[in-house]
A and B are shown apart, each in its own frame.
Chain A
């Protein structure tokens, strides 16, 4: 389903491009669904969780959104929180490409395709998070431009729909094209993917900015109504995205034949260091403005950090997030983080969870508490909401596993030939540009 939308590049040999591409898809499916026992266990567990989520969602559609703990006071909850984080993840994965091209860092190019894979999975997750949040998913077609009624350009949500789908297509194209060329043993023609890579960088920034505009454009919600929201979104995306890529690379290095040079991960860690500082600095400056000035802007922050009117449901969340973020940042600054040890893994996990809370529960929920008329009605997700969200994550990881597995197989097949000749030499150049029978169109 994922690969089906990739446009096929021009025919390389005698058989038609379509046939060849179909063959590629067939084998890709075979490879992506083949593996050791632990691969099957992993996939079965993920499928199980996804099924539990699907079942919970079906119940929600049948019985109404009453099965969630949302209310007219807190009308968005865990789903939109998760949506916000996933958009950041999607953007962060691809923005890593910026240093690769800006500084012409050849080795970073290797990371590009992983980032795009993460982006694809994350976009699917964010789209699903919006779909499960709809009261009437059966009317989804009203959102399709042309046949529905698209309130563009006024509604920020329509912008978001456009940029998210566009982003998905761009990344599917890039990943699909690079893999296909690799599979054919041909050098990818820069004309076919470099412009798209640049487009996707620009696009990555736009998806996260527009998602921030979704909230900060609402004048009635002082907690969101700050110009700092979009920059803060970007800064945290620059942390969660690379952190996720580092985790993916570690898993691939341990479980597949795909070999990485250690350098790109270190570049990523340097990026994380800077962005995490910027993120914490902006958080601090926002907290300062809120509490020093006080007023209606501060009441949400008061509730978020310290509780108000005897209600303090978010306080443990927020402090957990701050501790995780700070400890994660400190770990990233230790020299051990630059070695291939577990420090960086722990640091990545801390920052990912910390940002998930900060950009999710810690950002969406306090926008509604206190309500626009200063009523304090609390919210904590219901079991159904947790199940559906877990299901979405399981589905996202499933897709990510398949894509990464495909990447590993396509790339390591060439690599393994090369390595057997060179006796375990870790390739120094990026796979996309090495070991190719040079044959450009």
Chain B
């Protein structure tokens, strides 16, 4: 196989056989070491299977394929969490654009909304995760620098007001633009959703969101079987896999069926108003037309569909 006029110097090296032997031995040892180093991968949870691996993007699934996927997910929930869940897929309604408004004069910072979210959306119990952060703010301005989301004392405290923040369902959502693989997108009714089975977990959307609205599954969520909310949907509150992004969906599994978001139902003060922005007779339209509402970080041009207001 000596095939060239310019050969490299090792060819007539007498030690070449011993070297070759040593190299082969080294390479074998190296391969064995690699196998050992990668061993933790073998213990991977069973949910990483061929069907999961090959599953197409949600928006490319036919209704038949969806049925198969949902059935598989229900079986997985049974196997891993020992619960019977139903995974639905309510489509966006015609002529509906969801909006949310929050009366800051009324909110007392009790965090009942955050707690309801935690339960409704099957969040990991240990981390006490929720899509809603309630900030205790100093009266006299809207300055998050003086805000505190980890307050731990009776509410409402004097001199303070409370500002719950969750996904603003931006019309110009920077998170959607950022995602390299369209794993997150805006639905017709304005809800920004994530396909938990398509997301690769790069967290670029989390860096892009100006409202700290996104949550990452740093580990597999743990929920005791009796606490799982079995009324689930594919794009919202089904139990998320490890390593993917999630976010508030205005409880689309409820709201697309005419119910109200869990956080609104839980609010003891009635600070929250939810509804269809396209319906001129809706309460949310009344609030926007009659109150001086504002949105967070308006200057960024994200056009939130989450409005705040104070009673005069």
Chain A interface (Cβ < 8 Å from any Cβ of B): 13, 15, 19-20, 23-24, 26-28, 30-31, 33-34, 47, 51-52, 54-55, 58-59, 61-66, 68, 70-73, 75-76, 130, 133-140, 142-143, 148-151, 154-158, 161, 183-185, 214, 218-221, 296, 299, 367-368, 370-375, 409-410, 413-414
Chain B interface (Cβ < 8 Å from any Cβ of A): 1-11, 19, 23, 30, 33-34, 36-41, 43-44, 48, 53, 57, 133, 135, 144-145, 147, 149, 165, 174, 177-183, 198-204, 206-212, 214-220, 241-245, 297, 300-302
Q: Once the chains are docked, how many angstroms separate the CA of A151 from the CA of B133?
A: 30
Chain A residues with Cβ below 8 Å from B149 are: 373, 375
Q: What are 7 A-B contacts with C-beta separation under 8 Å?
A: A34-B10, A134-B202, A135-B242, A143-B180, A151-B177, A219-B210, A219-B300
User: Are B182 and A15 in contact, with the CB atoms below 8 A?
Assistant: no
Q: Give the shortest distance, in Å, between A436 (CB) and chain B (any CB).
A: 11
> Taking A66-B219, A136-B199 as contacts, is the C-beta distance between A218 and B8 under 8 angstroms?
no
Q: Once the chains are docked, how many angstroms separate the CA of A135 from the CA of B197?
A: 12
Chain B binding site: helix, strand, loop or mixed by DSSP? loop
Task: Please pick, from A51, A52, A161, A373, the residue contacting B212 in the complex, using a CB distance under 8 A.
Answer: A373
Q: Give the shortest distance, in Å, between A55 (CB) and chain B (any CB).
A: 4
User: Are A134 and B301 in contact, with the CB atoms below 8 A?
Assistant: no
Q: Once the chains are docked, how many angstroms separate the CA of A63 from the CA of B198?
A: 20
User: Are A135 and B204 in contact, with the CB atoms below 8 A?
Assistant: no
User: Are A24 and B4 in contact, with the CB atoms below 8 A?
Assistant: yes
Chain A binding site: helix, strand, loop or mixed by DSSP? helix
Chain B residues with Cβ below 8 Å from A68 are: 218
User: Are A136 and B4 in contact, with the CB atoms below 8 A?
Assistant: no
User: Are B243 and A65 in contact, with the CB atoms below 8 A?
Assistant: yes
Task: Please pick, from B1, B9, B217, B297, the residue contacting A220 in the complex, using a CB distance under 8 A.
Answer: B297
User: Are B4 and A58 in contact, with the CB atoms below 8 A?
Assistant: no
Chain B residues with Cβ below 8 Å from A139 are: 53, 198-201
Cβ-closest chain A residue relative to B57: A149
Q: Give the shortest distance, in Å, between B212 (CB) and chain A (any CB).
A: 5
User: Are A150 and B180 in contact, with the CB atoms below 8 A?
Assistant: yes
Task: Please pick, from B37, B198, B243, the residue contacting A135 in the complex, using a CB distance under 8 A.
Answer: B243
> Taking A58-B38, A76-B203 as contacts, is the C-beta distance between A138 and B53 under 8 angstroms?
yes
Chain A residues with Cβ below 8 Å from B39 are: 55, 58
User: Are B44 and A62 in contact, with the CB atoms below 8 A?
Assistant: yes
Q: Give the shortest distance, in Å, between B130 (CB) and chain A (any CB).
A: 11
User: Are B220 and A64 in contact, with the CB atoms below 8 A?
Assistant: yes
Cβ-closest chain B residue relative to A391: B37
User: Are A23 and B3 in contact, with the CB atoms below 8 A?
Assistant: yes
With A23-B1, A33-B23, A184-B6 given, can you name 6 additional A-B contacts, CB distance below 8 Å? Answer: A52-B37, A55-B40, A58-B39, A143-B180, A150-B181, A219-B210
Task: Please pick, from B41, B179, B218, the residue contacting A62 in the complex, using a CB distance under 8 A.
Answer: B41
Q: Give the shortest distance, in Å, between B262 (CB) and chain A (any CB).
A: 20
Residue picked from A68, A134, A414, most chain B C-beta under 10 Å: A134
Task: Please pick, from B5, B9, B53, the residue contacting A409 in the complex, using a CB distance under 8 A.
Answer: B9
User: Are B243 and A72 in contact, with the CB atoms below 8 A?
Assistant: no
Q: Give the shortest distance, in Å, between A153 (CB) and chain B (any CB).
A: 10
User: Are A65 and B201 in contact, with the CB atoms below 8 A?
Assistant: yes
Q: Once the chains are docked, how many angstroms separate the CA of A72 from the CA of B212?
A: 8
Residue picked from B41, B200, B241, most chain A C-beta under 10 Å: B200
User: Are A185 and B41 in contact, with the CB atoms below 8 A?
Assistant: no
> Taking A183-B8, A218-B174 as contacts, is the C-beta distance between A54 and B181 under 8 angstroms?
no
User: Are A54 and B180 in contact, with the CB atoms below 8 A?
Assistant: no
Residue picked from B6, B36, B39, B53, most chain A C-beta under 10 Å: B6
User: Are B4 and A23 in contact, with the CB atoms below 8 A?
Assistant: yes
User: Are B216 and A59 in contact, with the CB atoms below 8 A?
Assistant: no
Q: Give the shortest distance, in Å, between B73 (CB) and chain A (any CB).
A: 16
Chain A residues with Cβ below 8 Å from B41 are: 58, 61-62
User: Which 6 interchain pairs have the tightest Cβ spacing?
Assistant: A135-B201, A220-B210, A135-B243, A64-B219, A157-B180, A55-B37
User: Are B144 and A151 in contact, with the CB atoms below 8 A?
Assistant: no
Q: Once the chains are docked, how many angstroms separate the CA of A259 from the CA of B158?
A: 77
Chain B residues with Cβ below 8 Å from A220 are: 174, 208-211, 297, 300
Chain A residues with Cβ below 8 Å from B180 are: 143, 150-151, 155, 157-158, 161
Chain A residues with Cβ below 8 Å from B297 are: 220
Q: Once the chains are docked, how many angstroms separate the CA of A143 from the CA of B19?
A: 42
> Taking A62-B43, A135-B244, A136-B199 as contacts, is the C-beta distance between A218 and B178 under 8 angstroms?
yes
Chain A residues with Cβ below 8 Å from B11 are: 27
Q: Give the shortest distance, in Å, between B87 (CB) and chain A (any CB).
A: 20
User: Are B4 and A20 in contact, with the CB atoms below 8 A?
Assistant: yes
